[in-house]
């Protein structure tokens, strides 16, 4: 069945917020009677038939929610038109901003404008589902079944927001009814998944003292005693220390060492003085990350809907008949490079998710603490950078440390868990017109991956033929805040630099 007029006015919500129904199937009957032919236009809720100047076919529906093929008056409009309208409506419900009434078919800028309205605190499952629904190519939009599979993320995200922002007397019945629905099994699955997440082991250490800085939030911080860390034996020196916070800090450093053991044989503590370790714990944020990992695994597995084979072969916006752009081999090499980092959360329920440990260097320790408390998106840390607009992280600690200046003492480095999802390797220079400087990520991609050269002090993608002879680093650009789970931050001073700074101070004195 094709509804034909999906919009907020046709979605009914019960008074207590516990039940939702789709209404007004008048056009669905019209479409069935005409063989699914024409979509129609409606202004201010009144359906009416219009003969547009372009195309000749009569069209039916509501301005602003019509799909590109609906505006063109294409015969036999089918299910993808409803999926498009759902995407537009989802953006409106998330942002409170209605789409414009347009008498011309939407283009890529319209789709990006709608997605751009989504508040940054929304989870990746929401934005990725909307991006897929707003694909200009009718055949590339997901089916209704696939779109429904993206719905369980609402179990946590929407109900969590409902509990936080609705008065208890109004929300109580809705929460009770929702908790009684079958979706509870989804939450149980998410909780069992979360219990297996190895990257949270440092936070599970018994005896840690957690400080809650904001009464209305569940984010807690724990400053660790790092007195036993930084010896020649590295992080393992604190493994049997009596202080639980030292053991927790040691576990974090040991995880970081293990994650990069295939590219570096030395530990963090042998290369840097660990001046401070602050751990972060948030049940709601950890659950959101778990949901993201599950949903992005499903997306990555569904290559027929979310696959990037055409883009890998021919670049952004490519279709099956687009000529190759000559960069397919380079993109494959970049992807292979990132696949050498092991996924640190191995669970059959996350078979197609890759979860990594990554780093981010904020300007100051104060900003590091704010990111731990509020997340990247809440601080507007989506960087309109060289390789796309998103949250920038790296797998290389040394790359992070380069952002420190000699004037600064200890360098803050945020440690995060990162779920990759559907990834697109960027090989285009940001200086070129086909680059991603300030642009959104590739449609359907959750992450951009880049291998850059730092030999000349400038960040620039480097061809794989030169990797062996050039110092390279990695950059990952996350589409959404919930792909990045802050685990804590470290204050590090590179060994050798301490001596240089001390000598400089002595000379000045």
CATH number (domain holding residue 416) = 3.90.228
Q: Provide the pLDDT confidence category of residue 456 given band limits of 50, 70 and 90.
A: low
pLDDT of 146 reads 66
CATH code at position 133: 1.10.510.10
Residue 450 falls inside a structural domain: yes
What is the distance between the alpha carbons of residues 4 and 341, in angstroms, rounded to a whole number?
46
Q: Is the pLDDT at 237 greater than 60, yes or no?
A: no
What is the distance between the alpha carbons of residues 395 and 357, in angstroms, rounded to a whole number?
7
- Could you give the angle at the alpha carbon of 495 between the alpha carbons of 489 and 499, nearest 5°? 125
Burial degree of 423 (CB within 10 A; 0-12, 13-18, 19+): buried
Cβ-count burial 311-336 (b if 16+ within 10 Å, e if not): bbbbbbebeeeeeebebbebbebbee
Candidates 277, 283, 293; CA nearest to 200 is 283
Residue bearing tokens 């911080």: 221
Mean pLDDT computed over 43-58: 42
State the SS3 of 459-477. CEECCHHHHHHCCEEEEEE
Residue 368 falls inside a structural domain: no
Q: What is the DSSP track for 336-365? A: HHHHTSPPS---GGGTT--EEEEEE--SSH
Residue ending a domain, choose from 98, 128, 150: 150
Q: Compute how many other C-beta atoms are within 10 angstroms of the C-beta atom of residue 439.
A: 16
Q: Are 126 and 153 in contact (CB under 8 A)?
A: yes
Residue ending a domain, choose from 150, 172, 194: 150
**pLDDT tens across 275-315, in order?**
999 999 998 788 888 888 988 898 899 888 889 999 999 99
Residue 74 falls inside a structural domain: yes
Q: Is the pLDDT at 232 greater than 50, yes or no?
A: no
Residue 425 falls inside a structural domain: yes
**pLDDT tens across 111-141, in order?**
777 887 777 666 666 777 788 888 888 888 8
State the SS3 of 99-157. CCCCCCCCCHHHHHHHHHCCCCCCCHHHHHHHHHHCCCCHHHCCCHHHHHHCCCHHHHH
Q: Is the pLDDT at 14 greater than 60, yes or no?
A: yes
pLDDT of 313 reads 94
What is the distance between the alpha carbons of residues 139 and 356, in angstroms, rounded to a whole number?
33
Longest dimension (CA), the chain: 91
Q: Is the pLDDT at 59 greater than 50, yes or no?
A: yes
Q: Is the pLDDT at 88 greater than 70, yes or no?
A: yes
Long-range contacts of 142-146 (CB under 8 A, 24+ apart): 142/83, 142/302, 142/305, 143/79, 143/83, 143/305, 144/79, 144/82, 144/83, 146/302, 146/305
Phi-psi region of 3 (alpha: psi -120 to 50; beta: other; left: phi over 0): alpha
Burial degree of 12 (CB within 10 A; 0-12, 13-18, 19+): exposed
Residue 369 falls inside a structural domain: no
Helix pair angle (79-95, 124-133), 10° resolution:
140
Mean pLDDT computed over 363-389: 80
Higher pLDDT, 73 or 307: 307
pLDDT of 323 reads 92
Candidates 259, 250, 237; CA nearest to 208 is 250
Q: By residue range, what is the domain housing residue 477? A: 307-361+380-488
Which helix (H) or strand (E) element contains residue 486? Answer: strand 484-494
- Whether pTM > 0.85 for this model: the answer is no
How many helices (H) and strands (E) are present in the chain, helices listed first? 18, 15
Q: What are phi and psi of 245, to 5 degrees?
A: -70, -30
What residues contact 227, with CB distance under 8 A and at least 6 apart?
A: 243, 246
Q: How many domains does the structure of the chain reveal?
A: 2
Q: Are 303 and 140 in contact (CB under 8 A)?
A: no
**pLDDT tens across 144-171, in order?**
766 665 544 444 444 444 444 444 454 4
Residue 472 falls inside a structural domain: yes
Residue 196 falls inside a structural domain: no
What is the distance between the alpha carbons of residues 310 and 147, in angstroms, rounded to a whole number?
22
Candidates 449, 507, 442, 499; CA nearest to 307 is 442
Residue 226 falls inside a structural domain: no
């Amino acid at each position: 069945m094709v509804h034909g007029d999906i919009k907020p006015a046709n979605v009914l919500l019960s008074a207590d917020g516990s039940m939702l129904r789709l209404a007004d199937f008048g056009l669905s009957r019209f479409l069935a009677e005409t063989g699914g032919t024409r979509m129609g236009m409606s202004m201010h809720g009144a359906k009416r038939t219009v003969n547009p100047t372009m195309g000749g076919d009569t069209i039916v529906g509501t301005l602003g929610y019509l799909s590109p093929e609906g505006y063109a008056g294409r015969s036999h409009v089918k299910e993808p038109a409803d999926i498009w309208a759902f995407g537009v409506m989802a953006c409106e419900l998330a942002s409170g901003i209605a789409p414009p009434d347009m008498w011309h078919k939407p283009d890529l800028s319209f789709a990006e404008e709608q997605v751009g309205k989504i508040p940054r605190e929304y989870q990746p499952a929401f934005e990725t589902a909307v991006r897929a629904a707003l694909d200009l190519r009718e055949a590339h939009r997901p089916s209704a079944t696939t779109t429904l599979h993206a719905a369980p993320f609402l179990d946590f995200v929407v109900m969590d927001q409902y509990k936080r922002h609705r008065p208890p007397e109004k929300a109580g019945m809705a929460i009770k009814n929702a908790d009684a629905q079958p979706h509870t099994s989804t939450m149980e699955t998410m909780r069992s998944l979360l219990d297996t997440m190895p990257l949270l082991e440092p936070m599970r250490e018994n005896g840690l003292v957690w400080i809650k800085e904001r009464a209305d939030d569940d984010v807690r911080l724990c400053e660790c005693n790092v007195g036993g860390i930084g010896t020649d034996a590295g992080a393992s020196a604190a493994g049997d220390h009596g202080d639980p916070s030292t053991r927790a800090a040691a576990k974090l450093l040991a995880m970081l060492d293990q994650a990069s053991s295939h590219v570096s044989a030395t530990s963090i503590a042998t290369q840097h003085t660990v001046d401070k370790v602050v751990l972060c714990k948030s049940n709601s944020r950890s659950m959101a990350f778990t949901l993201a990992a599950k949903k992005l695994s499903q997306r990555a597995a569904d290559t027929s809907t979310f696959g990037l084979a055409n883009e890998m072969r021919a670049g952004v916006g490519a279709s099956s008949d687009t000529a190759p752009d000559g960069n397919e081999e380079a993109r494959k090499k970049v992807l292979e490079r990132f696949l050498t980092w092991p996924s640190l959360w191995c669970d059959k329920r996350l078979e197609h998710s890759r979860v990594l440990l990554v780093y981010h260097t904020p300007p100051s320790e104060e900003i590091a603490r704010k990111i731990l408390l509020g997340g990247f998106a809440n601080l507007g840390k989506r960087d309109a950078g060289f390789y796309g607009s998103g949250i920038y992280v790296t797998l290389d600690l040394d790359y992070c440390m380069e952002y420190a200046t000699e004037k600064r003492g200890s360098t803050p480095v945020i440690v995060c868990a990162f779920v990759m999802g559907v990834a697109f390797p960027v090989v285009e220079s940001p200086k070129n017109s086909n680059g991603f400087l300030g642009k959104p990520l590739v449609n359907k991609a959750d992450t951009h991956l880049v291998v850059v050269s730092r030999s000349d002090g400038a960040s620039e993608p480097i061809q794989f033929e030169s990797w062996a002879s050039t110092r390279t680093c990695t950059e990952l650009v996350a589409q959404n805040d919930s792909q990045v789970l802050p685990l804590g931050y470290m204050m590090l001073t590179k060994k050798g630099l301490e001596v240089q700074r001390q000598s400089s101070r002595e000379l000045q004195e």
